[in-house]
Amino acid sequence: MKSAKDILRRYLKSNGLLYSRQREQVLDIFLKTEKHSTINDLYELVRKKNTKIGLATVYRSMKVICDAGLARETDFGDGARRYEHKYKHQHHHHLVCIKCGRIVEIASPRLEQIQRQLAKKHDFTVSRDTMKMFGICRACKRKSK
Amino acid sequence: MKSAKDILRRYLKSNGLLYSRQREQVLDIFLKTEKHSTINDLYELVRKKNTKIGLATVYRSMKVICDAGLARETDFGDGARRYEHKYKHQHHHHLVCIKCGRIVEIASPRLEQIQRQLAKKHDFTVSRDTMKMFGICRACKRKSK
DNA sequence: CGAACAATTGACCATAATTATCAATCTCAT
DNA sequence: ATGAGATTGATAATTATGGTCAATTGTTCG
């Protein structure tokens, strides 16, 4: 089983790109995060290891890490791009609480099946998909009673 | 059957807001658009009728029109908020071609049913949801052969 | 109708996320 | 170790969007 670093290394090499210290640092930090970090989140974390790193480098590194298939961009409509793990994580969708911001990840084979059928019906070759439901979670419903 | 203007009027009145000339103009233009316009698209269209209107007014008007339930924000991840019709239009999802930008609207009761089940399972009260699949449409697949 | 009052507007500024620029520096195959 | 080419960090530029405020407008009520 290849490690995430191996995958990044291989991706970079096969595209004529370099395995820089900064890219490795960003990947290390990203792998340690649990969920849905913004570029700024990652930037601040990486700066604890490397105070000299620039914000643009974090943007650029996450782009490469996505291209390598290790991360996935998600957008919760809050004006900031977020990243989640893609390697060794099953495809999933999101329930987002608009009160407390809690995000629940959900996987549903039946949903995926319907998605495949819909894509086939319209002859689309799908490379990326996203489904989100925004609403109020159980805890917030209790609180507001 | 109430017209979109009646709905806006009623919404405004019941919220202590005013029915201004600009809001009506923005609504008129929005109703004439077919699909997924950005604020800037609408701004340029409204300016043909009212060269004095400000961009901020279009932002503010579309916000109110959304709140009144006549429009829905969509996000295709291209860095610009887009608006689509909500009144007298059934809920739907999107297939987006990443080559030519074509957007196909799809409705699926089975998908909606699964969404309801997933929300219920996690005790979420869903107020808004979105599902998108990005890929290559039939026409673009043919072209690239 | 017309005055009064609160909401809205338009112009402009503020902010925030993201990207472009470019000289200095680093990576890696040889 | 070296050189060609990729990357970086600092900063400026860009873009979408929201805030401010004095001037204007819409609505209500007498």
**Averaged pLDDT, B65-73:** 97
Q: Is the CB of A115 under 7 A from strand D?
A: no
Q: Which DSSP symbol is given to B88?
A: T
Q: Is the CB of A67 under 7 A from strand D?
A: no
- If asked whether residues A16 and A78 sit together in one domain, one would say yes
Shortest distance between the Cα of A131 and any Cα of chain B, in A, equals 4
**Averaged pLDDT, A42-52:** 97
**Chain mean pLDDT for chain A:** 95
- If asked whether residues A81 and A115 sit together in one domain, one would say no
> Across the interface, do A115 and B114 touch by the CB < 8 Å criterion?
no
Q: How far is the CA of A28 from the C1' of C29 (A)?
A: 26
pLDDT over 90 (residue A51): yes
Q: What is the pLDDT of residue B77?
A: 87
pLDDT digits (tens, 9 = 90+) for A62-105: 999 999 999 999 999 888 999 999 999 999 999 999 999 999 99
Q: Which of chain B's residues have a Cβ under 8 Å away from the Cβ of A111?
A: 111, 114-115, 118
Beta strand B93-97 pairing with B103-106: antiparallel
Amino acid at B104: V
End-of-domain residue from the set A59, A85, A111:
A85
Q: What CATH code is carried by the domain that includes residue A54?
A: 1.10.10.10
CA nearest to nucleotide C9 C1': residue = B57
Share of chain A above pLDDT 70, in %: 99
- If asked whether residues A43 and A66 sit together in one domain, one would say yes
Range of the domain at B12: 4-85
pLDDT digits (tens, 9 = 90+) for B6-64: 999 999 999 999 999 999 999 999 999 988 999 999 999 999 999 999 999 999 999 99
- If asked whether residues A102 and A74 sit together in one domain, one would say no
Position B68 confidence tier, pLDDT thresholds 50, 70, 90: very high
End-of-domain residue from the set A60, A85, A110:
A85
* Count of structural domains within chain A: 2
Task: Measure Cα distances from A131 to A9, A70, A96 in Å.
Answer: 31, 20, 11
Q: What is the pLDDT of residue B144?
A: 79
- If asked whether residues B15 and B68 sit together in one domain, one would say yes
**3-state SS of chain A?**
CCCHHHHHHHHHHHCCCCCCHHHHHHHHHHHHCCCCEEHHHHHHHHHCCCCCCCHHHHHHHHHHHHHCCCEEEECCCCCCCEEEECCCCCCCEEEEECCCCCEEEECCHHHHHHHHHHHHHCCCEEEEEEEEEEEECHHHHHHCC
- If asked whether residues A35 and A57 sit together in one domain, one would say yes
- If asked whether residues A80 and A42 sit together in one domain, one would say yes
Q: What CATH code is carried by the domain that includes residue A100?
A: 3.30.1490.190
Tokens 């917030």: give the residue.
A140
- If asked whether residues B68 and B9 sit together in one domain, one would say yes
Shortest distance between the Cα of B117 and any Cα of chain A, in A, equals 10
> Across the interface, do B123 and A115 touch by the CB < 8 Å criterion?
no
- If asked whether residues A73 and A108 sit together in one domain, one would say no
**Averaged pLDDT, A23-48:** 96
- If asked whether residues A28 and A70 sit together in one domain, one would say yes
- If asked whether residues B119 and B138 sit together in one domain, one would say yes
Return contacts of A86-90, CB within 8 angstroms, 24+ apart: A87/A4, A87/A7
Contact (Cβ atoms closer than 8 angstroms) between residue A86 and residue A69 = yes
Share of chain B above pLDDT 70, in %: 99
pLDDT over 80 (residue A111): yes
CA–CA distance, B34 with B82 (Å, rounded to integer): 12
**Chain mean pLDDT for chain B:** 95
- If asked whether residues B70 and B36 sit together in one domain, one would say yes
Q: How far is CA A55 from the centre of its chain?
A: 18
- How many beta carbons lie within 10 A of that of residue B64, not counting itself? 19
> Across the interface, do A95 and B119 touch by the CB < 8 Å criterion?
yes
CA nearest to nucleotide C10 C1': residue = B54
